[in-house]
Amino acid sequence: MARRPDASYSPLRSGQGGDRAPTEMAPLFPGCDYEHWLIVMDKPGGEGATKQQMIDCYIQTLAKVVGSEEEAKKRIYNVSCERYFGFGCEIDEETSNKLEGLPGVLFVLPDSYVDAENKDYGAELFVNGEIVQRSPERQRRVEPVPQRAQDRPRYSDRTRYVKRRENQAYQR
């Protein structure tokens, strides 16, 4: 029996939360308040796009649902043009739903802190239409630490395979 999609479905209200508003539910992660949203997009402007062109695309995308580019600049608090393509913005859930399905928008997700101690959502800070550099101390906290080769799990240990073959030989 096929189920028909429910137009009023919201993943924020599904599960144990029932029909309660997201703000009444316990947060998923620190900083996840359903007022800060992460918008993940296809690479804006294609392969040759500059960082500024990508940011302009983020502003234009949000402006489609908040009414103007000036308002969009006020609501965007971070941008990413390298590790992923997208931006963080402060909007309500109803407005976030309007972003879904816009050209280039892949995901609309509740945002959460990368650095809960400093209430930092990560990516590049964006204030009133401009990228703001973090202090070097704060930047180190939000950048992922590359994993050193000696810390990675080693899969070259073949003893488990030898033991498995020996066990199979005994079972025959």
Give the per-residue pLDDT at 11.
44
pTM across the whole model: 0.66
Give per-residue pLDDT as tens, 25-63: 555 677 788 899 999 999 998 889 999 999 999 999 999
Give per-residue pLDDT as tens, 56-97: 999 999 999 999 999 999 999 999 998 899 999 999 999 999
Q: What distance in Å separates the CA atoms of residue 50 and residue 119, rounded to the nearest whole number?
A: 29
pLDDT grade for 172, boundaries at 50, 70 and 90: low
Give the per-residue pLDDT at 118.
74
pLDDT grade for 149, boundaries at 50, 70 and 90: low
